[in-house]
Amino acid sequence: MRELVVLGTASQAPTRARNHNGYVLRWDDEVILFDPGEGSQRQLLHTTVTATDLTRICVTHFHGDHCLGLPGTIQRLSLDRVPHPVAVHFPAGGADYFARLRHASSFHETAELAVEPIGADGQRIALRRGTLEARRLRHPIETYGYRLVEPDGCRMLPERLAAYGIAGPAVGEVQRVGHLDLDGRRVTREEVSVPRPGQRFAFVMDTGLCDGVYALAEHADLLVIESTFLESEAALAAEVGHLTAAQAARVAAESGVRRLVLTHFSQRYADTRRFADEARAHFDGDLVIAEDLTTVQVPPRRVPSDG
Ligand SMILES: [Zn+2]
């Protein structure tokens, strides 16, 4: 199952309609909490995600709307006796903030956190299937965006394997080696499989336009990106290190993004339809204006092109 669960969509301060920022990505056996703002623990209760489901927490930077939910969420891991270690990533320069948030109040700590700060642009963390990669973004404090990259693979076709009489460990061998010699005849992987394009998810928060934004967004099947402002505030956006809806949409269009999720809206805008209007002028793929407590599917795997 691969989907995004939106916990909150407000930048800076929550509104009556929008909780502080917060997102969960379900990606096979990984359930990753991104940027838990204030109130994230309670927002989780309104979704099908539990604290026990979480395998990893990724924080882009230590502004409050991206991290004030850490104390409650971390304490909840212990309260619920989460049995597995939960990995945590955040900018290494913010280690003091993390230490304070982690131990913001007294609690009986039983959950195990596997803390692995991000200390360099391009840092990679190996997952069971694919890679989590951090890229430096442009914001007044140290900020990293994240992307998940699944390598291209192939899907074995049972009926073809059966036709060649390939079974058991031989299936793994032809998949791994690329061919198999059977009674004097060589069967290639291509004869018994079809290509399976890897999928990509990107999470870009709090940044002015920079190389890191494009590096993360490249060929993303699902891109979650901040669009704090509209064009009318473009100068302000540039000054404070944020994106407009139009900029985010242009990034998506130029990067071959398939499904674009805009979020992290300034509380100055009561009506988010204008974000869709301004983005639509630049991006003609799937466009989602994020709302709290909604779910966005990662689009179905791309169909491999011939040849
Ligand atoms: Zn920020």
pLDDT tens per residue across span 134-168: 999 999 999 999 999 999 999 999 999 999 999 99
Q: What does pTM read for this prediction? A: 0.93
Q: Which residues are known to be catalytic?
A: 65
Give the C-alpha separation, 95 to 297, whole Å: 33
pLDDT tens-digit map of 110-134: 999 999 999 999 999 999 989 999 9
User: How many C-beta atoms lie closer than 10 Å to residue 300's C-beta?
Assistant: 10
Cβ contact 177:274 at 8 Å: no
CA of residue 60 to ligand 1 center, whole Å: 9
CA of residue 233 to ligand 1 center, whole Å: 16
Check whether 63 is labelled as a binding-site residue.
Answer: yes
Cβ contact 24:32 at 8 Å: yes
Give the C-alpha separation, 171 to 229, whole Å: 52
Cβ contact 294:8 at 8 Å: no
Looking at the DSSP bridge assignments, the partners of residue 187 are 180
Domains of the chain: 2-152+197-297 (3.60.15.10), 154-194 (no CATH)
